[in-house]
Structure 1
Amino acid sequence: MNQHIEQLVRDAHQTGDYRPLIEQIPYAQMLGMRVLRLGEEMVFHLPISKDNIGNPVLPALHGGVLAGFMELAAMLHLMVSMNSPTFPKIIDFSVDYLRAGLSRDTYATCQVWRQGRRVGNVAITAWQTRSDEPVATARAHFKLD
């Protein structure tokens, strides 16, 4: 199994096609999550879906959907940046909701702050229309095997 995941990570990094890797994560598939690559930068994409709406009055994304998307983005970013043979295990996740995530496509970028032998720390920023107007920021800590 580990060799299979490691090969998927390598292939995704080399080709820019992250679909086979995302297909290994049922929740990412359910969300319709995608990965875009701009040069060496990975941009995570959450297409709008009526199933992801939590407040139909605004309408706005469900906070749990947004947090789940950001956590998955951090995990995938960490996996690709370290050519991981396994999925990192979440230790801690903290999200700050800054404004309503309206019913539109949402994007996220990640930055690895610290990667040791056993723990990786990732910062995540999610936005909808402009990257300098985030809808949420988060910090994730993962156990690395």
Structure 2
Amino acid sequence: MSNAFSEARRIARESRNYDALTALMPYARFIGVKLVEVDGQPRAQLPYRPSLIGNAQMPALHGGVTAAFMENAALMQLLLQLDETRVPKSIDFAIDYLKPGRPEDIYADCKISRLGQRVAHVAINCWQRSPDQVIAVARGHFLLTSTE
């Protein structure tokens, strides 16, 4: 699997085509996560589709889909920035929902806020329409590939 990650990372870094990297993440592929280039940086995007609605009465995006999108965005950020040979494992992931997600695309900006030898901390903001109108925030700790 490490060869697939190395090749996908190389393609993503050189050509700014993130499809090969996204293809390695089964759940990201299932829910439709995409990485797009914004100001020279990758940004996660989840294009809206009706199957992502959790509450049809409002309607609002399903909270589990929002959380999974944010976690996958963090994982892809780690894969792009680090030289991991496998997908990092989630140690813990905490999310705060600030407002319901409307039936439209959602975006996530990720920041690796602490990087140790074995653990990374990532902060994630999820938003719609404008980055200053955040609908959810999350923080996750991820176990990195062992250097042994």
**TM norm structure 1:** 0.96
The equivalent of 2:5 in structure 1 is 5
CA distance in 2, matches of 1:83, 1:40: 19
> 1:60-75 to 2 correspondence within 5 Å?
60-75=60-75
By how many angstroms is 1:103 displaced? 0.4
Is residue 2:96 matched to residue 1:119? Answer: no
Structure 1 window deviating more from structure 2 (35-44 vs 95-104): it is 35-44
> 1:27-106 to 2 correspondence within 5 Å?
27-106=27-106
Contact (CA 8 Å) 1:9, 1:84: kept in 2 or not? no
By how many angstroms is 1:105 displaced? 0.5
The equivalent of 2:18 in structure 1 is 18
Deviations 1:82-110 (A, max 9, x none): 13221111100000000010101101100
Structure 1 stretches of 4+ with a deviation exceeding 6 A read: none
CA distance in 2, matches of 1:39, 1:129: 17
Report the 3-state secondary structure (helix = DSSP H, G, I; strand = E; otherwise coil) of the residue aligned with 1:96. strand
Q: Over aligned residue pairs, what C-alpha RMSD do you find? A: 1.0
Alignment: residue pair count: 145
CA distance in 2, matches of 1:89, 1:112: 15
Give identity over the alignment, percent: 39
CA distance in 1, matches of 2:135, 2:59: 14
CA distance in 2, matches of 1:19, 1:71: 18
